[in-house]
Structure 1
């Protein structure tokens, strides 16, 4: 068990700020004219300062108060990542209320449950599609819906009485502006009643089984995260963040909190298809992401380079090999020799610099979270000069509780604990966490809270791991461990991470085998990558479903499985597999809104296909 210092240091805004709203206003006061956010409007990037952000936020906050939102009421936000999400969230906390975050991909059934369970009184939604989900539900507490994009929606003129009021964001802002002319100190008075233990955010865990649970995160949780990361001295006000992550997810949310503590600027755009394109324009210094994004970038760059064939492909492969050898030496505490250094300099000139420039040319590091990052992917990015700092955290811990450090990144681990956080390892290998980021419990669910939170503050993560010289290594989810009929334990996550890192055409893999005589797998193909492959191999006229059955594709997958098996113990090897004719879908209940596989749901849906693999 390890417990480094408190993480407190003089001069931090969060030390003087009892709440997220206070922190926001303190940041504005400290750096009013510095750029706060960039966002796309009509194809062009616009910038607003912290002072301009305050003006927009306080009008929206006053508008919420004018709608009758009281201190500690819940206000839901259901939208993709965009500047309006951030402004709305800041407005909610400045009104003394708490944000209930909802993924835009959440089903209508779950939207109704979340809004009802949270008791949200106002919902702020992206468009008519999100509004339609709400209209299907019986939600007596909900009195108004505000739309970012209100085209085609008949908005409410005046107070509809007992009916549901529909407003545009501009209408909400106008309400607030009028209220502020009458009560200039409205926001300050509302914040006077909010402290560190007031509810700030309800994030509903998408969960892989059962109903989502509302995680109660108070203002003190977010203040802790800001202080702890500031104490690492890895970011400053001169940094520029590119933010595409879902803001309904805890990792996206915590990055907005870090910005207010440290004062850097953020470019916001939630379009996943434009990440690489936008990086080249925005030229950020860091970006948070999930492993799948890094896997796809690596695969795309590699396949493009190798597709040229001839000398270009050979030079690319040589350069990556030179870089990976250097990374592995550094991981052992050694340095490249003179010849190796000369090779690295040449490789940087020929290959690495081009890759970095494609991603903006200024990346100091990436941050990876939410799922395990394959060592091969981490080594590749490190080799080309864009290190990935893998971290670890859960919704219940307000995001990160550990992260690797730029000057001491240990691939295969998720870093040391943040200052002020303690790790413990239970007898069965479960990771325990205690510290300032741990939630205050599940909303309205004392029984579920008691199952994971001890009286002395330890949170049971449900993950299995070990501490290696103070650095945490996570091996699998406790509930996902497989025990074959031969009595051998298998960690499916390890196998799945290795496969996706090695096979660029894979989208998802679900390893199966609990109680079975061997391990099998369900595999899906990445639509973009397999379509490119098909076009290059005379199969461009085939649909995704047809490609899944194509003998050449089956051989492609089999070769990848054989390569995977060469890295595994005998009892871990994948003996048989199924290639699905489509990718896994959120809408079909196979993926969570945060893009995690619902393992049990997938195994149940394809149970008959899996059974056939074991009939011989």
Structure 2
């Protein structure tokens, strides 16, 4: 029985259970198991009308919704290799990946997305949701899948910046869903079916997909954000017990709380500041008795109120995709809201390590999940092997071979494993930047746009790994106002996570002499970041 069969069985068993609930501000729009099964059946009919056969690559281009979920399951049921893509990504980049995948069909949420694809690829084989869900219903069981069969191809920038399609097999998925099911049962203290789960990250990314799939697998519903600009109201409406986060959101929550505290009266500000100081001292084992008493009182009063404002029903938060500041993780724990970190890549079926319930250590990303091995290779690069490792990059045998070393997958991350076996991620081995949004960003294409689009600029380095946004160090002779105007124009053609939000102009060029270029005139990125450390900190102040 494949994981897709399990999805079908769970929908049939629970026709009145809301499996996907769209959160529209204060309103909930529920799609129950029976209705979701109907949507899937109609979508399967439309796929057959377009002669989709097992192994065909079908692109899914849409924001999160109940129909996204139905389309995904229908494609899986027909034996297609689902290729989910980010609806907000630049259309020329999307089309490049669609063509690389050899897409037999591109399913778009609406005509606007369809027209955007057609503008870059006139012959694209597209269909919208309206037509997808108007097909003749198919009531057959899902097509069989062997463990080695590829079920989805997710494109990632990887370590070189070149888009590569990561092939994930049915066996990878089954292993990971069983792993997540066990961990969530341990975390919640009960089997699935009653968890209140909220999700705001795009389903097209590996980690998000497994939040969705694991809930379907556990006979559980998931509540889906429909407006990222309205998350506070959506969370208030959803009242979840847990949800997956990227560090950027947790940092914003913490900053928002501290801004509100700063606007309170003097007694509240003094209590908060003193309690935070006591907490920091307590973490270093040097808090005095009065500090410990103050901290205990603050936990019952001010910190309990803060937690209630974030989410009264929340029992924990889960965080992944990028480094989370150690103090931020500890701050949430201070509120009585543990943050459990998850580390993984698309190539590892989303997960390598996870924090264990009630055993999280701030700054660390947990232990290797059962059945997965990890060790450190050259340059402290983290190497991984196990049933979670992908089968290869679509159409790129050489890249697949380069990704492995003696049967171990090379993650491209520098790591450290402590004496208890917990993993610490130190940084990227190569140049890919992973800002707090969790996106993989290759700096070189953006740097080239800066060199071409900003008059007078002769060198450019993009900064932003583990940061809230991207910034740049520029050298050359150009007025700041003119550079700012040019960068604004460049940003208009880039997705939000690749935009330059601030920059530093340096009159001193990078050179071999000052140690900022190699002998063959290539950028020494770490040296540049160290040289301009103060300027960079000001860009994020």
Q: TM-score, normalised by structure 2?
A: 0.78
Aligned to 2:217: 261
1:144 lines up with 2:134 in the alignment:
no
Answer whether contact 1:378 1:411 (CA < 8 A) is retained: yes
1:201 lines up with 2:152 in the alignment:
yes
Structure 1 segments unaligned to the other structure (5+ residues): 1-16, 148-167, 482-491, 501-507, 511-519, 528-547, 550-577
Aligned to 2:393: 442
Shift, 1:588, TM fit: 4.8
Aligned to 2:260: 304
Q: Alignment partner of 1:264: what SS?
A: coil
> How far apart in 2 are the matches of 1:526 and 1:430?
25
Q: Alignment partner of 2:352: what SS?
A: strand
1:369 lines up with 2:320 in the alignment:
yes
Q: Alignment partner of 1:400: what SS?
A: coil
Where does 1:42-191 land on structure 2 (aligned, <5 Å)?
44-138=27-121, 142-147=124-129, 168=130, 171-177=131-137, 180=138, 184-185=139-140, 188=141, 190-191=142-143
- Call closer, same or farther: CA 1:322–1:606 in 2, change over 3 Å: closer
> How far apart in 1 are the matches of 2:485 and 2:357?
40
1:402 lines up with 2:385 in the alignment:
no
- Call closer, same or farther: CA 1:62–1:211 in 2, change over 3 Å: same
> How far apart in 2 are the matches of 1:411 and 1:581?
41
> How far apart in 2 are the matches of 1:608 and 1:425?
38
Structure 2 segments unaligned to the other structure (5+ residues): 444-460, 470-479, 515-530, 532-541
Answer whether contact 2:55 2:81 (CA < 8 A) is retained: yes
Q: Alignment partner of 2:134: what SS?
A: helix
Q: Alignment partner of 1:136: what SS?
A: helix
Shift, 1:424, TM fit: 1.3
> How far apart in 2 are the matches of 1:30 and 1:227?
20
Shift, 1:264, TM fit: 2.5
> How far apart in 2 are the matches of 1:248 and 1:403?
21
Say how many residue pairs are matched. Answer: 474
Aligned to 1:569: none
> How far apart in 1 are the matches of 2:464 and 2:392?
36
Answer whether contact 1:243 1:269 (CA < 8 A) is retained: yes
Shift, 1:423, TM fit: 0.4
- Call closer, same or farther: CA 1:370–1:294 in 2, change over 3 Å: same
RMSD of equivalent CA atoms: 3.7
- Call closer, same or farther: CA 1:613–1:313 in 2, change over 3 Å: farther
> How far apart in 1 are the matches of 2:25 and 2:303?
33
> How far apart in 2 are the matches of 1:479 and 1:382?
33
Shift, 1:355, TM fit: 2.0
> How far apart in 2 are the matches of 1:109 and 1:415?
38
Q: Alignment partner of 2:157: what SS?
A: coil
Answer whether contact 2:319 2:341 (CA < 8 A) is retained: yes
Task: Give CA-to-partner distance per residue, 1:3-59, whole Å, 9 cap, x none.
Answer: xxxxxxxxxxxxxx32x4212113224544433121146962022333332222222
Shift, 1:255, TM fit: 0.8
> How far apart in 2 are the matches of 1:360 and 1:55?
34
After TM superposition, the structure 1 stretch with the greater mean CA deviation from structure 2, 378-387 or 28-37, is 28-37
Answer whether contact 2:159 2:412 (CA < 8 A) is retained: no
Q: TM-score, normalised by structure 1?
A: 0.69
Answer whether contact 1:78 1:101 (CA < 8 A) is retained: yes
Answer whether contact 2:382 2:413 (CA < 8 A) is retained: yes
Answer whether contact 1:324 1:380 (CA < 8 A) is retained: no
Aligned to 1:532: none
Aligned to 1:9: none
